[in-house]
Amino acid sequence: MQIMNRASMALVAAMALTACQNDTTAPFADEGPMMAPRASITFDASLGTGFVGKGDVQYTFGWNNPALQANAANVGFRVSSTEGTEYSWTCDRDAGPQTQERARTATTTYQGLIASIARERNQITGFILSGYNGTPTTSTETEGPPLWSCPTNWTAINMTTNTLQATANGMEVTGDGGATWTALLEKPVIIIP
């Protein structure tokens, strides 16, 4: 099961998980001079390895450099993917009309990443992702009636199940040791003329 989850998370690699660390709006007063954009998020979904620059974490949480320094030990990352399943069936009764029923289930798989702090001259430059951490966890939500259910004295017939394409939701970050997770926002790319 874990191999299948990691394979579906490989879709994350197809996502635009490349962002730019610096933009010309310099949202944090102590970031220094405006710089040309450069990539600060890289991710290899097959291995769970890569790098997240400090600017993307700061941008997501609205932190300046001192806030990042104070909270870096509580920063963690995970990736998620969702697979959907659509169920359909017909409720049939003797000498009566038939009704078509549908339900959809979305199963989201979360996989933690091992992250360590990257430093240069005692300043945090970002977070090194060195692989997957632990066993994936899943969460399932169903929309519609209970599967294969029909009113009393009706029979479920023509039951079909279709797996929908898996989608990569992206990378999430926590700043509080995993109590809450937030989508890792990518800083906008602003071209310096």
- Per-residue model confidence as pLDDT tens digits over 91-138: 998 777 788 899 999 999 999 999 999 988 888 999 999 999 999 999
- Per-residue model confidence as pLDDT tens digits over 41-78: 888 888 999 999 999 999 999 999 999 999 999 999 99
- Per-residue model confidence as pLDDT tens digits over 1-17: 333 344 343 333 333 33
- Positive/negative CA dihedral, 63, 64, 70, 74: positive
In the block, residue with structure tokens 């450099």? 65
Residue predicted with more confidence, 141 or 191: 141
pLDDT band at 193 (very low <50, low <70, confident <90, very high): low
Going from N- to C-terminal start, the domains of the chain cover 2-183
Helix runs in the chain, H state only: 2-9, 11-14, 54-61, 65-71
Q: What is the pLDDT of residue 114?
A: 95
Asked if residue 25 has pLDDT above 60, the reply is: no
CA angle 98, 103, 109 (to 5 degrees): 165
Residue 12 DSSP SS3:
helix
- In Å, how far are 32, 34, 172 from 27, measured between CA atoms? 10, 10, 21
